[in-house]
Chain A
């Protein structure tokens, strides 16, 4: 059934791996039902990708809406209530529907089993169930939008959310609750898959770093998300029945809600960034054609970040009224997370050192990531130091900081991963020049949008303000212009990728020279991924593959013996 459509010019077929298959996972069965009832991790990944792209568009449009409102002081075309709903929708949709499922559910589903040389995840039905829970959660959010909106901020702080807000808080909370289960199921699936389905030869220390990152993420998803579920359920009960746990009017404690909320939502920050770091480790190694530097340190730093992430939630609450002693402890532990993050950046730099660097689009994203994540991470120092956090807390400085990490970090890494695995996913190459231009446009727009926010924030501009005093006009205007440029960059990216589906040239099995196993199956892969389970070796031994002009891609070196020193 396998049809090889490359010129062989005299070589025997078994010397060259199969590059393309006429029958692959995308067309092995037809009809909508074959997608909606599929158990194939790749198809589920594609459906997730479509879903989160829709969520991203919604969240992005909301952001565009309120950034335009903020172009001038005074209210231009929104009321205060509308502004509050726009920033809430932006935050809630981006966090719960896009960024948390983003890399694990869309790219992770696509790539994780391929990287293990496996046919699928451990529990394919649970995987499909997790996607449907995501859909149900998304419908709850749509219901929220139609049925009264939401103006609590994505943090749902009580007692505003439990008592004062007249918007559809219960629908939104129920949506986030359901999405939490979607996330737990994905995490469970990945933990079991990585434990039980590694191929012969893949010891823990030969696990690709993407999988280490996904593993650490999954641990957080499974352990932290239930706390969010309980908290949101209690919030629903508080709002509907007035049980008196969070609302002081009924004898409750609003700060308790913040503890519960951040006990999940701080680890959730690492659900967002760990997969991003994991992608960047893959990209840097592949495009430097060099063994990743400090493999064990990177792997262990992911796990240590995951574990430490459970112990730092109180740094969101230095001025909440929690005791100074709690503040000191949380501040101190927070700094311990700075170290593994710094180590990763140094390791990536050391990987590029004496490498053979090629600046294809995914690598461009990885380099942009390092630059933006460095700024995002270092500005985090101001916020983990107690005295400087007091003045910066809840200002635009915080907004800028977490956008540098969540957008500059996670979104850029996501786009890097998307461009890296796109040929594998779709079987087509995109226009390299255009996609590089799009990447640089988004990068410039991003910096213009968010760097001025650091300055106005440290000058005192509070976040979540529908209107502001003229002192801050300049910074807001730069920020809005930056948002428009960023939006243009994103549109270019979408255009480039969509265009490649229709007119891109066929992708080889291994277009970039990656040494991990997903590059050993054809692009796009067949339904069951591999005809013969591949044998695992060092995932960063780049000399295992060499460029083949005839194939137009990278192929394994026959009879290769590893020269890598460990």
Chain B
């Protein structure tokens, strides 16, 4: 009864919301975005302490796959190399569905199963009637069709009203669960998500950004505040029965509880061009202790799998796949959406044709290409590169070093 009243209240709030100012923390308050750090993210000091415990970091789940690109640095030809080939959630799921990783997901499944039973019953009923009628009333000599039946008002009313009641029930059920899917709890770990062609950047409340591979500590529900750097994308979290389109120039949100420890898949489900089917991310829900270890290795991209700082060139090579440069730029001269870095490297110090003129290929050329790609589009290519203005100077330097080094190898 209480739940029912709560639902009714939510309906009322929802119905009025478009006409009222958004309430802080409400699902509809799309503009009230605050990145408060509510989860216990490790502080500078704790990360250092944990680092002292040495090689443990390497055994934490996720750390083993940090080096996504193969050793030769070539773009891997398997999809979403940073995501496991087989998803636990599918392996442990039912015939129809992956694992339900939250209470809301189980509610969605209850509705799904209820509709599935309607499907089974009606499909079977119609099939049986079809077969029985066709066999029983097959054309036989001397037997004519009964022309007296042209309509039957009571029956027609019954078979109009019964389905109406049935669909009213499932509409209501689906609507109530939809509200649960949309309504995040008050206290959430808010993570900013930036989608681009073709990857995902996740930024924690303390400003730490990790691309493609996200881990969160168990316990605190997580809310993603998302937007896109270029075209439409969609955040699809099947284990949580959640999905939300990610739009340029507008924020959308999605939330999920983190009760169930596990490794989950994130897909992009809004077609976004060439590497749409490569646009995976992985989500790990870890116990706090394991999360702390994960954090120590992954919160600083300069760390290798053991938590040690990489030298400049190796760091540049890592960033090449870390920021998904490899989805558009090859390092073997192969043609892709953007110019191959091998060609860029080979032209070092020379002029290169760009739209509307020429440009000298040097450190500044690479820097401009990263920070303001539309200002100089290499001849024969389209204006597809998103702006990577979140790379810091150190990262741009190391990446440039890596690109420059390619032709010499």
Show the binding face of A for B, using Cβ within 8 Å: 73-75, 80-81, 84, 151, 153, 157, 159-160, 163-166, 248-249, 254-255, 288-297, 318-321, 323-325, 327-328, 331-332, 335, 338-339, 342-343, 345-346, 349-350, 352-359, 367, 370-371, 374-375, 378-379, 381-382, 384-391, 393-395, 455, 458-460, 462-471, 540-543, 563-566
* B144 contacts the other chain (CB 8 A): yes
B79 (CB) vs chain A CBs: closest residue:
A467
Residues of B within 8 A of A464 (CB): 271, 276-277
Q: Which of A355, A388, A394, A470 contacts B145 (CB 8 A)?
A: A355
A343 (CB) vs chain B CBs: closest residue:
B160
* B238 contacts the other chain (CB 8 A): yes
Give the complex CA separation of A564 and B95 in angstroms: 50
Residues of A within 8 A of B277 (CB): 80, 462, 464-468
Q: Which of B32-40, B169-177, B199-207, B350-358 contacts A (4 or more CB under 8 A)?
A: B169-177
Q: B160 to A469, Cβ gap below 8 A?
A: no
Query: In whole Å, how far is B347's beta carbon from the nearest beta carbon of chain A?
Result: 23
72-121 of chain B: CB within 8 A of chain A: 77-80, 83, 85-87, 89-91, 93, 95-98, 107-108, 111-112, 115, 118-119
Q: Which 6 A-B pairs have the closest CB atoms?
A: A385-B174, A460-B238, A387-B177, A248-B249, A465-B277, A386-B178
* B329 contacts the other chain (CB 8 A): no
Q: A290 to B85, Cβ gap below 8 A?
A: no
Q: B150 to A468, Cβ gap below 8 A?
A: no
Residues of A within 8 A of B167 (CB): 335, 338-339, 381
Residues of B within 8 A of A355 (CB): 133, 137, 145-146
B116 (CB) vs chain A CBs: closest residue:
A382
* B331 contacts the other chain (CB 8 A): no
Residues of B within 8 A of A471 (CB): 85-87, 90-91
Q: B28 to A324, Cβ gap below 8 A?
A: yes
Q: What are 7 contact pairs spanning A and B, CB under 8 A?
A: A294-B152, A328-B175, A339-B164, A342-B163, A356-B144, A371-B130, A462-B267
Q: Which of B211-219, B239-247, B306-314, B391-399 contacts A (4 or more CB under 8 A)?
A: B239-247
Residues of A within 8 A of B326 (CB): none
Q: Which of B12-20, B61-69, B284-292, B293-301 contacts A (4 or more CB under 8 A)?
A: B12-20
Q: B234 to A349, Cβ gap below 8 A?
A: no
Query: In whole Å, how far is A530's beta carbon from the nearest beta carbon of chain B?
Result: 27
Residues of B within 8 A of A542 (CB): 145, 147
Other than the given A254-B231, A354-B145, A394-B236, 5 more pairs (CB < 8 A) read A324-B28, A352-B130, A386-B174, A387-B176, A541-B147
The 8 A CB mask of B27-70 against A (1 = contact, 0 = none) is 11000000000000000000000000000000000000000000
Q: B178 to A387, Cβ gap below 8 A?
A: yes
Give the complex CA separation of A541 and B147 in angstroms: 8
Q: Which of A254, A327, A346, A359 contacts B178 (CB 8 A)?
A: A327
Given that A157-B232, A465-B276, A565-B148 are contacting pairs, would A459 and B90 also be in contact in the complex, using a CB cutoff of 8 Å?
yes
Q: A385 to B249, Cβ gap below 8 A?
A: no
Show the binding face of B for A, using Cβ within 8 Å: 14-15, 17-18, 27-28, 77-80, 83, 85-87, 89-91, 93, 95-98, 107-108, 111-112, 115, 118-119, 122-123, 126-127, 129-130, 133-134, 137-140, 143-152, 155-156, 159-160, 163-164, 167-168, 170-171, 173-182, 197, 230-232, 234, 236, 238, 241-245, 247-250, 252, 265, 267-278, 382-384
Q: Which of B28, B127, B137, B148 contacts A356 (CB 8 A)?
A: B137
Q: B197 to A289, Cβ gap below 8 A?
A: no
Residues of A within 8 A of B108 (CB): 387-388, 390-391
Give the complex CA separation of A565 and B151 in angstroms: 9
Q: B241 to A565, Cβ gap below 8 A?
A: no
Q: Which of B123, B138, B174, B267 contacts A387 (CB 8 A)?
A: B174
Give the complex CA separation of A74 and B78 in angstroms: 6
Q: A343 to B159, Cβ gap below 8 A?
A: yes
Q: A394 to B269, Cβ gap below 8 A?
A: yes
Residues of B within 8 A of A353 (CB): 133, 137, 149
Given that A73-B79, A354-B137, A386-B178 are contacting pairs, would A319 and B245 also be in contact in the complex, using a CB cutoff of 8 Å?
yes
Residues of B within 8 A of A467 (CB): 79, 277-278
Given that A160-B232, A356-B139 are contacting pairs, would A335 and B171 also be in contact in the complex, using a CB cutoff of 8 Å?
yes
Q: B234 to A382, Cβ gap below 8 A?
A: no
Q: B96 to A458, Cβ gap below 8 A?
A: yes
Given that A339-B163, A358-B139, A388-B115 are contacting pairs, would A460 and B149 also be in contact in the complex, using a CB cutoff of 8 Å?
no
Query: In whole Å, how far is A137's beta carbon from the nearest beta carbon of chain B?
Result: 23
Q: B151 to A74, Cβ gap below 8 A?
A: no
Q: A254 to B232, Cβ gap below 8 A?
A: yes
Residues of B within 8 A of A159 (CB): 230-232, 248
Q: A459 to B15, Cβ gap below 8 A?
A: no
Residues of A within 8 A of B244 (CB): 319, 321
Q: Which of B15, B115, B231 contacts A160 (CB 8 A)?
A: B231
Q: B236 to A462, Cβ gap below 8 A?
A: yes
Q: From DSSP, what is the main secondary structure of chain B's interface residues?
A: mixed
Residues of A within 8 A of B138 (CB): 356-359
A165 (CB) vs chain B CBs: closest residue:
B273
A75 (CB) vs chain B CBs: closest residue:
B77
Q: B149 to A293, Cβ gap below 8 A?
A: yes
B90 (CB) vs chain A CBs: closest residue:
A471
Give the complex CA separation of A294 and B242 in angstroms: 42
Residues of A within 8 A of B152 (CB): 293-294, 350
Residues of A within 8 A of B93 (CB): 459
Give the complex CA separation of A295 and B18 in angstroms: 44
Q: A387 to B175, Cβ gap below 8 A?
A: yes
A249 (CB) vs chain B CBs: closest residue:
B248
Residues of B within 8 A of A470 (CB): 85-86
Residues of A within 8 A of B148 (CB): 565
Q: A378 to B118, Cβ gap below 8 A?
A: yes
Residues of A within 8 A of B129 (CB): 349
Q: A564 to B160, Cβ gap below 8 A?
A: no
Residues of B within 8 A of A332 (CB): 171
Q: Which of A157, A294, A349 contacts B126 (CB 8 A)?
A: A349
Query: In whole Å, how far is A197's beta carbon from the nearest beta carbon of chain B?
Result: 27
Q: B134 to A367, Cβ gap below 8 A?
A: yes
Residues of B within 8 A of A74 (CB): 77-79
Given that A291-B149, A319-B245, A374-B122 are contacting pairs, would A385 and B143 also be in contact in the complex, using a CB cutoff of 8 Å?
no
Q: Which of B164, B178, B269 contacts A462 (CB 8 A)?
A: B269
Q: Which of B83, B175, B252 contacts A469 (CB 8 A)?
A: B83
Query: In whole Å, how far is A134's beta carbon from the nearest beta carbon of chain B?
Result: 27
Q: Which of B89, B122, B137, B175 contacts A352 (CB 8 A)?
A: B137
Residues of A within 8 A of B111 (CB): 385, 387-388
A289, A290, A469 interface centre (most CB from chain B within 10 Å): A469
Given that A357-B133, A381-B170, A390-B108 are contacting pairs, would A469 and B17 also be in contact in the complex, using a CB cutoff of 8 Å?
no
Q: B170 to A390, Cβ gap below 8 A?
A: no
Q: Which of A318, A379, A460 contacts B90 (CB 8 A)?
A: A460
B97, B143, B243, B268 interface centre (most CB from chain A within 10 Å): B243
Q: A394 to B171, Cβ gap below 8 A?
A: no
Give the complex CA separation of A165 and B137 in angstroms: 57
Given that A324-B27, A352-B134, A355-B145 are contacting pairs, would A455 and B87 also be in contact in the complex, using a CB cutoff of 8 Å?
no
Residues of A within 8 A of B270 (CB): 157, 394
Residues of B within 8 A of A540 (CB): 150
Q: A345 to B147, Cβ gap below 8 A?
A: no
Q: Which of B14, B80, B85, B98 contacts A324 (CB 8 A)?
A: B14
Q: A325 to B18, Cβ gap below 8 A?
A: yes
Query: In whole Å, how far is B385's beta carbon from the nearest beta carbon of chain A?
Result: 10
Q: A374 to B126, Cβ gap below 8 A?
A: yes
A360 (CB) vs chain B CBs: closest residue:
B139
Residues of B within 8 A of A375 (CB): 119, 123
Residues of A within 8 A of B98 (CB): 459-460
B149, B180, B242 interface centre (most CB from chain A within 10 Å): B149
Q: B115 to A563, Cβ gap below 8 A?
A: no
